[in-house]
Amino acid sequence: MPEIPLPQTTDAGKTAPAPAETPRPGAAPAGFGQAPDFGKQNPPPPGALPPNPPRYLQPNDSAWSVFGRIVAARARQLFDRAGQRITQRTLRIGVSARIFHPEPGARGLRGKTLQYLEESIAHWVMSRDVIVFMIPTVGHQGMLHPSNIRLRDYAKHLDGLLLQGGADVSPQTYAEAAARPEWPGDRVRDMYELELLHEFVESGKPVLGVCRGCQLINVAFGGTLYQDIATDVPTAGVHVSEHYDQHRHAVTFPEGSTLSSMFPGRREAIVNSIHHQAVKTLGRDLTVEAVSAGDGLIEAVRYRRAPFVLGVQWHPEFHRAGGPELLDCTPLLDTFLRSARETRF
């Protein structure tokens, strides 16, 4: 049984009240378990209530107006989160396919149509933590596996387009006849890439053309090409040799050009040269961005009526392996990708 405290006696002989019992740890508070007194007033302590109504309430507010504001705030929050997901999503860049056409009478893969991309161009774009997709041709007659997917679907879902190098642009594409039988170009690839280019331009997505891609941009807007530089411009320098990506020459950037702003402080640079064709007549709404320092041939073009449609005649993807004297084209890639990020909506 618990001990009962006894009354204590003071010096004057008077009995003092027993001290209050200290509650044991874990014991119920005083009055616990008693019936509640519903008639007793229990006002909040002073200062517990704000002197004015909350700021989110307005004088004429109703329950519906408050509910509407809550719904609107929630919607803004959801849209903000969706916008963050879009802007922070890894960029998706499409690369046009090179095409290997079947060889007559060949068996195995040589008897099939192959579509591929060169490894260096994919790795160059991926070096900035970008996902690369090769875009296949679509919609040809006689397909074994018909599909409703079209090139405009790729333009809708990808953030930018890179036109890689490869076979000559066919003279038929710019209304000329081939000067020699060995220069027929690739008419099938021309039609595929021209449609791809226009779909991305109409979608407001950026386009970067490399070598053949630069020539195709020029032809797409009504320009023409030198079918063979050595034949058509005998005074021109050598722009292709058996050294392939090791062959190089200097280019200059016109004052006020986009490339001159990308590479501040530089008016001249060394690039590789792997092409026997070149821009002849400039297409409509195109601006010259670079010329060959030795002979003045056009080496880069830009379409003025779009946020970013730029073609360079050299191969920037080969520059890092080519040596420190070659132009570091990282600013070109970064500008292209920044435009892709800005126009992805």
Structure letter (DSSP) for residue 181: T
Six-digit token string for 94: 């499409």
214 is an active site residue:
no
Distances (CA, A) of 196 to 66, 95, 240, 255, 325: 50, 10, 28, 31, 34
∠ CA 245-299-168, rounded to 5°:
65
Cα 333 from Cα 268, distance rounded (Å): 19
Residues 6+ apart with CB under 8 A from 105: 111
Region for 341 from its dihedrals, namely left if φ exceeds 0, alpha if ψ lies in -120 to 50, beta otherwise: alpha
Q: Is 81 helix (H, G, I), strand (E, B) or coil?
A: helix
- Which of the following is catalytic: 193, 195, 199, 211? 211
Give the pair of three-digit tokens for residue 330.
């990282």
Lookup: tokens for 77 = 């929050």
Which one is catalytic: 275, 315, 319, 329?
315
Q: How far apart are CA 202 and CA 193, in angstroms?
A: 14
Of the candidates 199, 249, 317, 329, the residue annotated as catalytic is 317
Any idea what DSSP says for residue 326?
A: B
Phi, psi dihedrals of residue 226, rounded to the nearest 5°: -75, 120
The question of whether 199 is a catalytic residue gets the answer: no
Q: Which of 161, 170, 177 is nearest to 94 (CA)?
A: 161
317 is catalytic: yes
Active-site amino acid positions: 211, 315, 317
